[in-house]
Structure 1
């Protein structure tokens, strides 16, 4: 009887979300190798089955291995799963691209817009790795890494123009606690994931200023409205923004103290400078890096995004906290839809 080779995934790299997705894949029966930059992290994963840099208290599946060698990680990989800061994607991928197999599907976990080019991660991947858009997928949804590492229930959207490739990755990451759905709307999923980080900054700022749940709910709701306006203007389906990669991700990121974007915003709302909030948060906060690029996209597509506009102004210290709140509340009234 012919034996079928098991599915193999290479996850780059061993940060919090990369480690969580590597665990999901391993728990789903996929062979997983995690690429770590630091030798001590790779060694700890291989010998102790823990990632001491992020989740020292969580035991990783024995089948999950790690390496610092990108070529070894990518050898025979059906999927390359990228979980690195959006602003470093281009430079890193240029180094890794020669090792990517001709049939490897590249899955982006990144939720940011590149500064300067204003490109989404999937667009950078096709450009730098010289692959068809049909070989690029996106995984996005309300997925706080800490909860997933604890095995708590979660769901996400796998978006890929090639439905077969999307279904294959769906099978590769389906576990008893992680439920993936499929879509072909890559643009909608990526914009939902990128813009929600900026809205979460706004909600965190409101919380840090001592504003109540009414104000935070207003920002979430109107934030979804401006996210949807931009996504639809760029070709996305509006239903995507009402799904896991839109509303779901927005609610989780804006509501949870585990969200680094909300936490960063709360630091700003309490009076910290951007530099002080960066030091206090200690991890990459995609909304801070992407806000201006998202605003540039909005201007290019003639889309009004008042919350993103105010957050960007705050990050660049063009307005004070009180001026930002006033700018949103004193806008002209209009119909909701």
Structure 2
């Protein structure tokens, strides 16, 4: 594998760059803001990861052209900006292998990352890297396991071998739909779990929410042809458990703030909010029963109070599990 390129110098992209560099890989990290790129080059630090120093083997650039010699290129940009980044830099990125590291569904088109890559950069092979992980853990070399999804098995095997490190273990699948949807939908459930805890409904309620939320995730994914085994793996159930139970999760913290009627920094990316809106609209159009997702979307948009959402969920008809 040649030099690894990473588009996006946020917490996750930078953490991956550090993990690869520490494993002896050559890495180029691109920051959209040239000023930020210059600052990182100078200090070898990032505001997103406290007390972490970037290895000297990471080349930090503010020019996307510097990713030209890289393959694969990992796209560590927010889901809602992925299409814009690919469109703006199509000439540079329409080749090789593009690995999406974002989780969610595009609010405008309702598409996942591999569909956006395929449409915008048809000459590139799309893949997805997803699963239960926090950037700080990856950057500090703590053991982490992720799912690498690629429809082409040979490319997937090459990526698995080239991107795995002694502390970053990748499991391979060809089910890109399942991996994408697991990573996207768990963020919605994390917001709901945060609301449960923030409102003071208790741990038992959170356990019930996670369980019923997982069923909801499987229901939606099956409607898109995803494999049940994928949702039961790292990119689905594993990621769901992590983000629904840890305050390191931005989506969980956002839900807690909603439940406590507290301030939440609007500059923090919360992928689950846009995903809830997009998936709720799709579910309504396709007749897929998604009560938790619908409730989260209604609460976020101010169309329903948290108290009303809880009352509606608890008054649903009893049925077999």
Tell whether the structures are fold-level matches, with TM greater than 0.5.
yes
Moved over 4 A (4+): none
Partners of 1:319 and 1:40 lie apart in 2 by 42
1:254-303 CA distance string (max 9 Å, x none): 1111000000000000014xxx4343xx4110011111111122234322
C-alpha change, 1:24 and 1:300, in structure 2 (3 Å) is farther
SS at match of 2:89: helix
TM-score by length of 1: 0.91
Counterpart of 1:107 (choices 88, 91, 99) is: 99
Partners of 1:15 and 1:286 lie apart in 2 by 14
Q: How does 1:286-325 map to 2 (within 5 A)?
A: 286-325=271-310
C-alpha root-mean-square deviation of aligned residues, in Å? Answer: 1.5
Q: Contact between 1:170 and 1:180, CA under 8 Å: does it hold in 2?
A: yes
Q: Contact between 1:7 and 1:172, CA under 8 Å: does it hold in 2?
A: no
Question: Greater CA deviation, 306-315 or 147-156?
Answer: 147-156
Counterpart of 1:90 (choices 64, 67, 83) is: 83
Which residue of structure 2 lines up, in the alignment, with residue 332 of structure 1? 317
Question: Greater CA deviation, 172-181 or 155-164?
Answer: 172-181
Is there any run of 5+ residues in structure 2 with no aligned partner, and where?
none
Is there any run of 5+ residues in structure 1 with no aligned partner, and where?
1-5
Say if 2:228 is the partner of 1:238: yes
Q: Contact between 1:234 and 1:301, CA under 8 Å: does it hold in 2?
A: no
Question: Greater CA deviation, 232-241 or 290-299?
Answer: 290-299
Residue 56 of structure 1: CA displacement?
4.3
Residue 101 of structure 1: CA displacement?
5.8
Q: Contact between 2:75 and 2:100, CA under 8 Å: does it hold in 1?
A: yes
SS at match of 1:312: helix
C-alpha change, 1:39 and 1:117, in structure 2 (3 Å) is closer
1:101-125 CA distance string (max 9 Å, x none): 63x1000011111112111111111
Say if 2:118 is the partner of 1:126: yes
Partners of 2:256 and 2:146 lie apart in 1 by 26
Which residue of structure 2 lines up, in the alignment, with residue 3 of structure 1? none
Q: How does 1:1-337 map to 2 (within 5 A)?
A: 7-51=2-46, 53-72=47-66, 74-100=67-93, 102=95, 104-131=96-123, 135-272=125-262, 276-279=263-266, 282-336=267-321
